[in-house]
């Protein structure tokens, strides 16, 4: 069985070389002729699987993406050719949720938010929305969900809540202190998400609200966003994703609080979990039993020694949470790297579009090593309360008292 892998899939060859005849292609080099006689194709989200790409695919039976998003696959066309397809649903949900947590903790530090008294509106309660809901539950932050397709599916089974959280409508989401977007990019159909955060929604936001987009840029009307951000008393906005990536509109940078190059899901765990998932799917297609596990590919980390200011308290103080969590992930570092890279991009006007696209792509490709909470042993003081230990455990840390 001939398996063609994109070289952006970490450990792809190590995982799959015993499963079939593996070949890799360099990122952005895939052309139709390379799919001749290929049985299985695995890639990531920057490769678009279009009818044109598939014109020479004479044997292709399975296409899979080591990512959560699937809007780069023309699924209707794959279906029409009888080619099965899949994705790594949920592979990087925790990474994105941790990205949002870092933003929330910075908002607390900057006095933009009173986190423990705030309400977070989660738009899209799938894998990422649920991972975020779990984090917020662990630290005791109120939140609500907007997800009509899921709400409808649950209603059909007589349920009104998802993991103990209630659903609200978009108008209620618009009133939340924080609005965090986690829907797929869908054009058309019953529940489209294309520009669902439209001009009216954006114009209704107040200066004390925080809007975070770490799903797909197309979900926000970016022209309206720029205009609102340039107006009086704009909301605080954090963007990980943009319309028309990688040729993004860098004019937004001057008005956005944190800006990152579509890396919210790029933890080591998020990426390698994606490889593990496509490996298991390919084993299934080939008819072989998988014998490799995520732990075979993840390095150990150094423990975090936390000197809590109030270890005996019944609730983890937000300052202690900030001090511990920002050892794991700090969005401000990625914001700084991003802004520096674009500053050295000579010009921001339309003529320099290629330069902007290259800068964006290179930042993503060369992203630093970032681990999730679950990668860390967390050493807490001996007198740490059970409640605080529990909170850290629920965040994924391996807690011990020293």
Ligand X SMILES: O=C(O)[C@H](O)[C@H](O)COP(=O)(O)O
Ligand Y SMILES: NC(=O)c1ccc[n+]([C@@H]2O[C@H](COP(=O)([O-])OP(=O)(O)OC[C@H]3O[C@@H](n4cnc5c(N)ncnc54)[C@H](O)[C@@H]3O)[C@@H](O)[C@H]2O)c1
Residue 89 burial by Cβ neighbours in a 10 Å radius (0-12, 13-18, 19+): middle
Note if 266 is an active site residue.
no
Q: Does 234 bind ligand X (CB under 6 A)?
A: no
Strand locations in 44-189 (E): 62-65, 84-87, 119-123, 142-146, 161-162, 165-166, 178-181
Stretch that binds ligand Y, among 2-10, 262-270, 320-328, 362-370 (CB under 6 A): 262-270
Among candidate residues 125, 101, 128, 129, the one with its CA nearest the CA of residue 115: 101
- Please pick, among 44, 262, 273, 371, the residue that the annotation labels catalytic: 262
Concerning whether 6 is annotated as a catalytic residue, the answer is no
Q: Does 245 bind ligand Y (CB under 6 A)?
A: no
216 in active site: yes
Chain-centre distance for alpha carbon 181: 10
Closer CB to ligand X, residue 40 or residue 363? 363
Q: Which does 267 bind (CB under 5 to 8 A by kind): ligand Y, ligand X, none?
A: none
Which of 261, 265, 311, 396 contacts ligand X by CB under 6 A?
265
CB 38 within 8 A of CB 4: yes
DSSP H or E run through 228: helix 222-229
217 is a contact residue toward ligand X (CB under 6 A): no
Distance of alpha carbon 402 from alpha carbon 398, whole angstroms: 13
**Partner whose footprint covers residue 148, from ligand Y, ligand X, none (CB < 5 to 8 Å by kind):** ligand Y
What sign does the CA torsion over 209, 265, 239, 73 have?
negative
Contacts with ligand X, 32-61, as mask; x by CB under 6 A? ------------xxx---------------
Yes or no: say if 54 and 32 are a contact pair by the CB < 8 Å rule: yes
> For ligand Y, which is the closer residue by CB, 33 or 190?
190
393 binds ligand X (CB under 6 A): no
Q: Where are the beta strands (DSSP E) in 11-140?
A: 21-25, 40-43, 62-65, 84-87, 119-123
Query: What would the x/- binding string for ligand X be over residues 142 to 171, using CB under 6 A?
Result: ------------------------------
The Cα 26–Cα 46 span in angstroms is 12
Piece of the chain touching ligand Y by CB under 6 A; list 111-119, 125-133, 287-295, 329-337 = 125-133
Q: Rule CB under 6 A: is residue 221 a binding residue for ligand Y?
A: no
Cα(199)–Cα(372) distance, integer angstroms: 35
Task: Identify what 311 binds: ligand Y, ligand X, none; CB under 5 to 8 Å per kind.
Answer: none
130 known ligand binder: no
Binding to ligand Y by residue 290, rule CB under 6 A?
no
Query: Are the C-beta atoms of residues 90 and 65 closer than 8 Å to each other?
Result: no
3-state secondary structure of 347: coil
Q: Which of 78, 38, 64, 71 lies closest to 280 in space, CA to CA?
A: 64
**Catalytic residue from among 245, 266, 269, 371:** 245
Distance CA 82, CA 104 (A): 45
Q: At its nearest, how many Å lie between ligand X and the CB of residue 95? A: 8
Cβ-based nearer residue to ligand Y, 101 or 214:
214
Mark the binding-site residues for substrate, compressed into ranges. Answer: 45, 67
- Binding-site residues from annotation for NAD(+): 147, 240, 265
Residues identified as active-site: 216, 245, 262
Binding positions for ligand X, rule: CB under 6 A: 44-46, 67-69, 92, 262, 265-266
Residues contributing to the annotated binding site: 45, 67, 147, 240, 265
């Amino acid at each position: 069985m001939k398996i063609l892998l994109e070289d952006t899939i970490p450990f792809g060859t190590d995982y799959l070389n015993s499963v079939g005849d593996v070949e890799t292609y360099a990122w952005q080099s895939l052309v139709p002729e390379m799919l001749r006689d290929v049985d299985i194709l695995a890639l990531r989200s920057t490769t678009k699987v279009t009818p044109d790409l598939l014109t020479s695919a004479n044997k292709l039976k399975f296409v899979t993406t080591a990512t959560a998003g699937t809007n780069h696959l023309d699924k209707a066309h794959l279906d029409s050719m009888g080619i099965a397809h899949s994705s790594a649903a949920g592979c990087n949900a925790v990474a994105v949720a941790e990205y949002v947590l870092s933003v929330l903790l910075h908002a607390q530090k900057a006095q933009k938010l009173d986190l423990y008294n705030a309400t977070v509106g989660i738009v899209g309660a799938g894998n990422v929305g649920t991972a975020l809901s779990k984090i917020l539950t662990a630290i005791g932050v109120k939140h609500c969900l907007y997800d009509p397709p899921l709400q409808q599916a649950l209603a059909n089974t007589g349920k009104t809540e998802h993991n103990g959280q209630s659903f609200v409508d978009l108008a209620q989401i618009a009133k939340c202190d924080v609005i965090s977007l986690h829907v797929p990019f869908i054009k058309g159909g019953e529940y489209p998400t294309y520009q669902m955060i439209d001009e009216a929604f954006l114009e209704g936001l107040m200066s004390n609200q925080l809007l975070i987009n770490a799903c797909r840029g197309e979900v926000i009307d970016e022209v309206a966003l720029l205009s609102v951000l340039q107006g009086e008393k704009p909301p605080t906005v954090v963007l990980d994703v943009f319309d028309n990536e990688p040729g993004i509109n860098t004019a937004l940078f001057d008005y956005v609080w944190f800006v990152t190059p579509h890396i919210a899901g790029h933890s080591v765990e998020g990426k390698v979990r994606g490889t593990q998932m496509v490996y298991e799917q390919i084993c299934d297609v080939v008819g072989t039993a998988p014998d490799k596990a995520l732990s075979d590919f993840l390095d150990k980390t150094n423990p975090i020694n936390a000197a809590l200011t109030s270890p005996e308290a019944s609730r983890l103080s937000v300052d202690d949470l900030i001090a511990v969590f920002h050892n794991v992930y700090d969005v401000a570092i990625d914001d700084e790297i991003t802004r520096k890279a674009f500053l050295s991009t000579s010009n921001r006007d339309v003529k320099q579009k290629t330069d902007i696209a290259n800068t964006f792509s290179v930042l993503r490709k060369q992203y630093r090593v970032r681990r999730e909470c679950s990668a860390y042993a967390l050493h807490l003081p001996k007198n740490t309360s059970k409640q605080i230990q529990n909170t850290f455990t629920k965040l994924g840390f391996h807690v011990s008292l020293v």
